[in-house]
Amino acid sequence: MNRSRLPAIMLALSLVAAACGSDGDAATTTSSPPTTAPPSTTTTAAPATTTTVPPGPDNIAGAVPELEAELASWIAEWDVAGAVVAVSAPGQDRVVVPVGVTNKESGEPIEGDDFFRIGSVTKMTTATVLLQLQEEGLLDLDAPLTEILPSWEQRQFTPGSAITPRMLLNHTSGLIAYELDPDFSNQVLLRLNQAWQPDEIVDFAVVKGLLFEPGTEWSYGTTSYLLAGQVIEQITGNPAHEELRARVLDPLGMDDTYLPPAEVPPEPLVSGYYDLAGTGEETAVVTALPQAGLQSLGWTGGGLESRVTDVIKLLPGIVDGGLLSEASLAEMASPTLDTEYGLGVNVAPIAGHDAWWHGGGVPGFRTAHAYFPDSGVSIGLVSNSSGPDVWAYIERAAKLILG
């Protein structure tokens, strides 16, 4: 590997690719996708239904052929190695449609139960836990961090003294996005074999100063969600991964979801691909690099690893599963400034239908999850490529199922 290119490479290997931003613009294509032949396809979807009900929210199995065809088309458009879409709806068996390969060299077909990094989808779980702590009277989302985190007070970071947990969750803290900072990328390069601690990353961000006065502007980033994870640990006295599991993952039956580095899936992730040379072809295998450093960067802001069949349980559980009170759900959905982002989630229409949604982007992987409360339809998409517009496919899938 040419070391002269490594800083740029490691910037790309930071937690959230710049193209991901907030994952906040549904079905917005910012560049022309490359055109290549689609990879081989396979499906483990539910068998075709014999009902006379047309494909739709009451017959998601009937939409499988079109979901698969659209996924193959999307993969060809964006030169994606492989992807899996899963859909659930009340009273019906879920459908799972994999298309493409888990590894370009071996040609091994991607499977519906493969593991992926799901990136910033993690943020919804962290926000849910903080809202639960507020319901329990253990946390005031509007209290300054200096009253909650001893480590924050000890930093004596005067410009950040006004930051509150709410600002962490709605991206108005003013803290930089460490994952997009080239200086941080250079540091990651030097310790691929060593895990990062949240305090190390937060310290790096503090040295950089604030982008704006807390609460006055909106800027998406993951630094704030590392602090949110520390708030969870400070208040509960337990590791964040244990609280996320006890409060969100276990109640929703998300048994195949893990938060590294404290816990990891029982099987390896699929190969994650990245366009290393900037040629438009994703040939670099991110998962072939040492993983200790990369796997620890996201934590409570973007570290979860999961199966798509677990991903589709998350938003239905948050919105309609009893994890939060109606008052907390209203807080979560309340837009911040002039954005569609509330507390850890976007709430805005997709394909003309009211939806709650969030995406995730880390090197080698892109994820999207959307839930449509009016119909109860939940859609999840995971891919082992870094660059595709996942929301373009989610919008297509929503139109197929919801009209």
At 199-230, the pLDDT tens digits run: 999 999 999 999 999 999 999 999 999 999 99
pLDDT at 23: 52
Provide the pLDDT for residue 48: 47
Quick one: CA torsion of 393, 397, 399, 401, rounded to 10 degrees?
Answer: 180
Residue 358 is predicted with a pLDDT of 99
Of all residues in the chain, what percent are helix, strand and coil, respectively (each to 5)? 40, 15, 45
Q: Residue with structure tokens 């960067």?
A: 297
Phi and psi of 357, rounded to 5°? -160, 160
**Mean pLDDT of all residues in 328-354:** 98
Q: How far apart are CA 80 and CA 392, in angstroms?
A: 13
What's the rounded mean pLDDT across residues 248-274? 96
pLDDT average, residue stretch 230-252: 99
Q: Which amino acid belongs to residue 385?
A: S
Span 258-285, mean pLDDT? Answer: 88
Would you say residue 6 has pLDDT above 50? no
The segment with the largest mean pLDDT, out of 5-9, 35-39, 133-137, 188-192, is: 133-137
Of 265, 289, 331, the C-alpha closest to 133 is: 331
| pLDDT at residue 290, as a whole number | 83
Nearest Cα residue to 369 out of 356, 386, 387, 354: 356
Tell me: pLDDT of 162 over 80. yes
- Work out the percent of the chain whose per-residue pLDDT is above 70: 87
Min mean pLDDT across 52-56, 177-181, 183-187, 328-332 is at 52-56
Closest residue by Cα to residue 63 from 82, 41, 46 = 46
Q: Which residues pair with 358 in a beta bridge?
A: 369
pTM flag (> 0.85) = yes
Residue type present at position 155: R
Which of 105, 116, 63 is closest to 87 using CA atoms? 63
**pLDDT at position 247 over 50:** yes
User: Cα torsion for 275, 205, 183, 367, to the nearest 10°?
Assistant: 0
User: Which CATH code for domain 3-402?
Assistant: 3.40.710.10
Q: How far apart are CA 276 and CA 125, in angstroms?
A: 31
3-state SS class at 213? coil
pLDDT at 291: 87
Residue 21: pLDDT over 70: no
